[in-house]
Structure 1
Amino acid sequence: MPNNQALISIVLPVFNEEAGINNTIEILEKFIKYQAEQYELIFVDDGSKDKSIELINKAQNKYSNIKVIEFSRNFGHQLAITAGIRYANGDAVVVMDADLQDPPSVIPNMIQKWRAGYDVVYGKRLVREGETLFKKITAKTFYRVMHRISNIDIPLDTGDFRLMDRKVVNTLSKLKEPEPFVRGLVSWVGFKQTSVQYERQERLAGETKYPLSKMTRLASDGLTSFSDVPLKLINYVGAISIIIGLLYGFIMMFNQFTTVIFATSALFVLSGMIMLGMGIIGNYLFRTFDASKHRPQYVIANSYGFQSHRKNIKTLKQNKG
């Protein structure tokens, strides 16, 4: 059972957040000041091109609980989360975005559930403020499709905002997938899980770091990691192709003109089906090929604050008492 002197790690992936990172740090530090638990803030800079890392390092001189991981280049949001939880020392680890669309005020509710015996407490979004209608529709559609076709139970309307117990973090840290889909992996490892509901806020500064291209890639990673349904769909595509071929042969016996039109349309349809099938198979093959290279998932250029922090964890907890 977690005690009142628990250490909570907050992992925050950062990519070009110069416009709002100082505000994020001040809000989090103000929040931490009034909490019963000890906190460490782990910022993982995912190859930012702006002054994000400079501002975080500057804030570290003011706040001793700030830790920094700096990637050598942009490796992606999911790998930034992965690195952060591996470096976290907390009895529990909270993952949240650095734009604070997921508000810190939800964390005490997560901790309450954790103290009640839950190992994972994920945030379930009731509303998504400040996002376009297109993004809301596509996100809602993706979560429901993923929930229906995946071979694990991935909760609806949940992102990466969640609290995880130390044993869950230790288990996740052992996984070595080149393109991890973290929220799927958290469901995959199991343990006792529950949710807290909240309203996602509008971004205070800057712009989203998840354009359509990255959203599409994340969706693809999720589908190919936790479902074989896309592969099975190729069988249905093949059956449809056979039906079209038979229909083409039947029409050709009766009307030459119609046959030309139908043949042209069928050619495009069949070509598209073949390309779609090859693309689906290619995605699965690439994940296998990528894993076979055994490259490190990411490269860390610098890290700050971790060594001294490890030495002082017991002191922090004793002082709290």
Structure 2
Amino acid sequence: MPATRTPAQLTAVAARPLVSVVVPCFDEAAVIGETHRRLRAVLRGLPECEYEVVYVDDGSRDGTWDRLTALAAADARVRLVRLTRNFGHQPAVLAGLREAAGDAVVTIDADLQDPPGLIADMVERWRAGWPVVSARRTGREGESRFKTGTAHVFYRLLAAVADHPVSLDTGDFRLLDREVVRTLTLLPESELYLRGSVCWAGFPETSLEYGRGPRLAGRTKYTLRKMAGLSRRGLLACSSAPARVPAAVGLAWLGATAVTSAVRRRPLPLAAWTFGCEAVLLGVLGEYLLLVHREVRGRPPYVVRQRWAAGVPVPAELTADELTGPREAWTAGSAR
């Protein structure tokens, strides 16, 4: 059931709420102009809502930043964040969430595989009281059978071993209430898996089903290596099951060895097999130690190189609150 809002929250949402759309970009120069055109068409049609679009350039090398600055110069509702290098999709989304000023924040990729038209339905569900509105994929047009099949298996494996409920077939195309955004952005983790963190937070969630289309232009940036890295991050972030594999395998191994030795009435030469088993188990523990090492270092998940707001560049060291300023000033300036 949707969360119950307080009278103050209902009044704030009813008085022309601000909807932010966060768009991470990496080498999307070929499509970014059409992406913005479609987003603006949808956002202009939202009833009694203000809007802003926050583009996060995740270290693009193909002229994406130049196109984004042209958009920002022509539209004061566009805000830009430029990272110093390619930190990856999840850090880029997190950067956008921290910059967004909206009462509701929508995250969507720039390649138009996720339909911007669904944002209107998300906002309608949000205004009805749902703090999380996710888009669930029912099909993945234009993607290989390998990618589709592995994604299907991964989400179900994750759901089976996760320590908390997770949403099936759901990526980062979703709407988050300001309270949810605040919760996520205050988490101290640097190796954040946002899809799992949204479910972990436990806010009431509803979903909209859609068929994912092919890319409008360019090539996918999610290589096999990046998909494997995202899957590893998700599994380690959402489940403690891998950490328990060594104990389970060790006990099973000892039991099998004892039974086999008893049946054959002599010890088995298991030195080579034991070495291989130990190497695999140490590798699993190594993943957790590496994760702990990264968290203990305390490095931020990304570094901002430049920001644009209200059509002009601003110092990168300013915080999101300093950029946003009073709500009235921002909405007045965005009327251009």
TM-score w.r.t. the length of structure 1 is: 0.90
Per the alignment, residue 73 of structure 1 pairs with 85
Inter-partner Cα distance in structure 2 for 1:268 and 1:173? 48
- The answer to whether the 8 Å contact 1:5/1:317 transfers is no
Q: Quick check: 1:31 aligned with 2:45?
A: no
Inter-partner Cα distance in structure 2 for 1:81 and 1:172? 11
CA deviation after TM superposition for structure 1 residue 243, in Å? 4.4
1:211-235 CA-to-partner distances (Å, cap 9, x unmatched) read: 1111111111111112111121212
Q: Select 1:111's aligned residue among 118, 123, 128.
A: 123
Secondary structure of the residue that 1:101 maps to in structure 2? coil
The amino acid across from 2:294 in the alignment is D
Give the 3 Å change call, closer, same or farther, for CA 269–15 of structure 1 in structure 2. farther
Q: Which one is further off, 229-238 or 277-286?
A: 229-238
1:196-207 matched pairs, under 5 angstroms: 196-207=208-219
Per the alignment, residue 294 of structure 2 pairs with 290
Inter-partner Cα distance in structure 2 for 1:186 and 1:214? 21
Q: Quick check: 1:279 aligned with 2:283?
A: yes
The amino acid across from 1:7 in the alignment is L
The amino acid across from 1:155 in the alignment is S
Per the alignment, residue 93 of structure 1 pairs with 105
Inter-partner Cα distance in structure 2 for 1:317 and 1:20? 28
- The answer to whether the 8 Å contact 1:176/1:297 transfers is no
CA deviation after TM superposition for structure 1 residue 26, in Å? 1.7
The amino acid across from 2:125 in the alignment is K
Secondary structure of the residue that 2:14 maps to in structure 1? coil
Inter-partner Cα distance in structure 2 for 1:304 and 1:253? 76
1:19-49 CA-to-partner distances (Å, cap 9, x unmatched) read: 2112211221222232222111111111112
1:205-284 matched pairs, under 5 angstroms: 205-243=217-255, 245-246=257-258, 249=261, 263=269, 269-284=273-288
1:108-153 CA-to-partner distances (Å, cap 9, x unmatched) read: 1111111111101111111111110000110010100111111111
Per the alignment, residue 328 of structure 2 pairs with 314
Structure 1 residue ranges without an equivalent (≥5)? none
Inter-partner Cα distance in structure 2 for 1:117 and 1:239? 49
CA deviation after TM superposition for structure 1 residue 64, in Å? 1.5
Inter-partner Cα distance in structure 1 for 2:185 and 2:193? 13
Per the alignment, residue 73 of structure 2 pairs with 61
Secondary structure of the residue that 2:174 maps to in structure 1? strand
Secondary structure of the residue that 1:104 maps to in structure 2? coil
Inter-partner Cα distance in structure 1 for 2:37 and 2:276? 52
Per the alignment, residue 153 of structure 2 pairs with 141
TM-score w.r.t. the length of structure 2 is: 0.86
CA deviation after TM superposition for structure 1 residue 302, in Å? 0.3
Give the 3 Å change call, closer, same or farther, for CA 139–293 of structure 1 in structure 2. same
Secondary structure of the residue that 1:86 maps to in structure 2? helix
Give the 3 Å change call, closer, same or farther, for CA 268–44 of structure 1 in structure 2. farther
CA deviation after TM superposition for structure 1 residue 236, in Å? 2.3
CA RMSD of aligned residues (A): 2.3
Inter-partner Cα distance in structure 1 for 2:140 and 2:271? 43
How many pairs does the alignment contain? 312
Structure 2 residue ranges without an equivalent (≥5)? 1-9, 315-321
Q: Quick check: 1:300 aligned with 2:304?
A: yes
1:151-207 CA-to-partner distances (Å, cap 9, x unmatched) read: 111111100111011111111111121110001111111222111111111111111
The amino acid across from 1:25 in the alignment is H
